[in-house]
Structure 1
């Protein structure tokens, strides 16, 4: 069957399914009953943070936890352990996050940067929009402390800072309520990885090989 014939069949089925729908009706006019569970069990804030850390680690992200006052030292130690000499920084990242990273050249996020230039950068440091405990997912929305999407896809090492007090939710439905669908959303569950037909895992194909998540308390 030709592609045109298949298209006509599909469109015909759609027309029949919509035959009793008034032409003036819009999707927002019809309420949709959402009876699914918003969360799977009740947890304290500590339990939610522990679940997030567990699921991040299950996806092979490297998880660190520290008080807010120790964040600059922790970021500096992660860059030093990596041997990073350069780090690209989103424009809204607080300067104090890297205040202890002496000797590391900071490269501002710029629209003029090419993928080749970003590939030569050792690390990237960003915040996040929200983190989902039940799935171990970090969501970026290109806010000032996260920068353009490409800076978290090209460099090989990503340090992402998550504030436990106000950026962690239990579930995907709760995360969606916080996110603007008009923004460029990047959903990250562990470092970039894929598998071929023989299930050989390869990391770093379409994103960083190493994702380090710093969960900041307080």
Structure 2
């Protein structure tokens, strides 16, 4: 046996479950790949997790989305990705919005001067309260969701899944993924909560159900 074979054999031994079963041989442990939750349960669980993380959450119909965003951003200067649907922004906010794109990125210093950001999202995982951005046109570059102090994030209800395997099954993992579980927060050595260290201090999540006849 070569040194390489010996190392791989030890790895296989280490990741077994103590019963002689090995990952990859068809006899390994069975992991959950779906939650089995219906839409109502998924939304309820996601809201519970996000609120536990100190996010501000509202479940709305798509016909109320523009007003919900307006109420959170009135009087603020904010950035939007180039692919954000125009119908999401009330016309009264037009002079306060700055558009960012990969072709015309806003520099970090300018982003730091802005109060907020609005994005959509790719997937939301209810069990962990995690929202995933994947850099799609309606979500934009990672920088715009990390630098401004207030993030308004839209979560279409059809993008909510129960557990992590379901979430990653919907994602292209070669894309630049940003995983968000509540506002940015950490604790110092004395367990004092400190917010805004790694990203926005305030997270507003708008969970949107499509309203019949409403545009997006």
Q: Quote the offset at 1:58 in angstroms.
A: 0.6
The structural deviation recorded for 1:122 is: 1.1
* Map of 2:132 onto structure 1: 139
**For each residue in 1:90-140, what CA deviation from the matched residue of structure 2 results, as whole angstroms up to 9, or x when unmatched?**
111100110244365211114442211101011100000000010110000
- Counterpart pick for 1:95 among 64, 78, 86: 86
Counterpart Cα distance in 2 of 1:214 and 1:99? 15
| Corresponding position of 1:114 | 107
**Which residue is equivalent to 1:6?**
none
Residue 64 in 1 paired to residue 58 in 2?
yes
TM-score between the two structures when normalised by the length of structure 1: 0.82
The TM-score normalised by the length of structure 2 is 0.83
RMSD of aligned Cα (Å):
2.3
1:78 Cα shift?
A: 1.0
- Residues matched between the structures, number: 194
Q: Distance between the aligned counterparts of 1:79 and 1:192, measured in 2?
A: 19
**Residue 211 in structure 1 maps to residue 187 in structure 2:** no
Instruction: Name the SS of the counterpart of 1:194 in structure 2.
Output: strand
1:102 counterpart SS class: helix
Which of 169, 192, 200 is residue 177 of structure 1 equivalent to?
169
- In the alignment, the residues of structure 1 paired with residue 95 and residue 3 of structure 2 have an alpha-carbon distance, to the nearest angstrom, of 60
Deviations along 1:15-41, whole A, 9 cap, x unmatched?
Answer: 522379xxxxxxxxx67756112345x
